[in-house]
Structure 1
């Protein structure tokens, strides 16, 4: 798959409704968009095997145990503690090969297997760390894909939230801490991680690519195009930056003011 072909997949995914969002294929397209011409077959094989093993476990074990044992036990998917900042930890193709990654990338395999087998599972946009919410007969349970899918107790959720800087009256609210997000939002969060890392390292081309993927996945959101423009401005592609700003046109309120300010700054550099 070429980069253009990956963009076509992401464009189609962006137009899909949340209930029909193709999480696995969109995640593969994101990885290939970053590094084209790689084989995605192993990712699909791993995902299919995960669904097969999970289907065998469901019914004989508690839902949360079946999911954790399948993903962390059978597939050996786990967080990479030793090389946390390794770019491979955010790339689904690399994660499938290494069986190591960040929680936002590992969550893709958990969510895909859950969807295929009928489990109700969703990502939780927890501060600093993606968690998973699994609906069980006894109520929702939080799992940590980075730590072998283990259950995160409510008291630990509160401690993590306080360490992340949330105020006590928010950190005590499990309905807020465990609020589910869509598969689309989960994949966009992974692209946000890539964008932040690329900016920090000065790799503005990688930052532009990750922002562009977000723009394709969420076509009604102006903010990714502002990030595309910022990355292009950083690398001196001012005309392209103006084109990205034009894509963000049409928003109202304070966001429009910010867009106009960026637009004028870039235009001044062209004069």
Structure 2
């Protein structure tokens, strides 16, 4: 019997250093919120079988890019993992158990599968919190190889990366140093926060405010007092008619981010909440 995969405790994650926050385990912990009976060991075994199938081939290859090409070929061509282009905002694309079951995901969940398989094979693949679509990066002799997990792990050149970044930078193409900065490896904590923010956006769009609040709450387990998550949870509580929670979070938000662009709007919400409270008595 292999070792069992132990999922972390939500309340212990905030105190952990970025480099020790476990990616796979915490991603499965996020999925367990939605799928309480999730068997974490099963998905660890699936990943391990992907890696073991590849190991002889990968060990026989010297160059990182060629190792990575073999990993991508197995995951995307042979096993059929692919980006869910038809239903991009389906929440199942963000839950790793569903990604393993359906072989469908969004850029960040597919990147996590890629990264976990690569790392088990000694290939140092990192995530990149690129604006728009999440990407992955691999060190190569003369720099880095950047790939798109949502599109079969396709390599992306500097010109295409600049074009992709432009809409998120006010229409300006980033210069070399800005592009390199954007391509910095993302910490596990940053990756997990992005997963939760994606889910929050999907649930808010669907008016599923209990789930939206839960996603913001989980961000706060990773980074207490994260301003956006305080605001998002407060607004979700407001939609759920949980006035006390909304008042607490929005007050805290204004304390943490007094100069935020929406600070005045949030102050108005708090005034309305207080007026509602005085009417009730």
When structure 1 is superposed on structure 2, of 143-152 and 36-45 the one drifting more is 36-45
Aligned to 2:132, what secondary structure does the other structure show? coil
1:54 Cα offset (Å)? 4.7
Preserved contact between residue 107 and residue 123 of structure 1 (Cα < 8 Å): yes
Correspondence for 2:81: 77
Distance between the aligned counterparts of 1:264 and 1:211, measured in 2? 23
Residues 234, 119 of structure 1: CA spacing in aligned structure 2 closer, same or farther, 3 A cutoff? same
Which one of the candidate residues 147, 151, 154 is aligned to 1:150?
Answer: 154
1:120 Cα offset (Å)? 2.3
Which one of the candidate residues 108, 123, 128 is aligned to 1:104?
Answer: 108
Correspondence for 1:185: 190
Residues 59, 138 of structure 1: CA spacing in aligned structure 2 closer, same or farther, 3 A cutoff? farther
Q: TM-score, normalised on structure 1?
A: 0.85
Distance between the aligned counterparts of 2:78 and 2:20, measured in 1? 28
What is the RMSD of the two structures over their aligned residues, measured on CA atoms?
2.8
1:73 Cα offset (Å)? 3.6
Residues 76, 11 of structure 1: CA spacing in aligned structure 2 closer, same or farther, 3 A cutoff? farther
Residues 171, 63 of structure 1: CA spacing in aligned structure 2 closer, same or farther, 3 A cutoff? farther
Distance between the aligned counterparts of 1:163 and 1:180, measured in 2? 21
Greater gyration radius: 2
Query: Where in structure 2 are the equivalents of 1:50-129 lying within 5 Å?
Result: 50-56=50-56, 57-60=58-61, 62-129=66-133
Query: Where in structure 2 are the equivalents of 1:211-250 lying within 5 Å?
Result: 211-245=216-250
Residues 166, 25 of structure 1: CA spacing in aligned structure 2 closer, same or farther, 3 A cutoff? same
Preserved contact between residue 64 and residue 141 of structure 1 (Cα < 8 Å): no
Which one of the candidate residues 208, 215, 218 is aligned to 2:213?
Answer: 208
Preserved contact between residue 68 and residue 118 of structure 2 (Cα < 8 Å): no
Q: TM-score, normalised on structure 2?
A: 0.82
| Residue-pair matches, total | 266
Aligned to 1:132, what secondary structure does the other structure show? strand
Distance between the aligned counterparts of 2:237 and 2:223, measured in 1? 20
Point out 4+ residue stretches in structure 1 off by more than 6 angstroms.
none
Correspondence for 2:35: 35
Preserved contact between residue 225 and residue 247 of structure 1 (Cα < 8 Å): yes
Distance between the aligned counterparts of 1:164 and 1:145, measured in 2? 20
Distance between the aligned counterparts of 2:25 and 2:116, measured in 1? 10
Query: Deviation per CA, 1:157-193, whole angstroms, max 9, x where unpaired?
Result: 1222235564334266531342221121111111111
Preserved contact between residue 13 and residue 22 of structure 1 (Cα < 8 Å): no
Query: Deviation per CA, 1:131-151, whole angstroms, max 9, x where unpaired?
Result: 111112232011111111111
Q: Which runs of 5+ in 1 are unaligned?
A: none
1:59 Cα offset (Å)? 4.6
1:50 Cα offset (Å)? 3.2
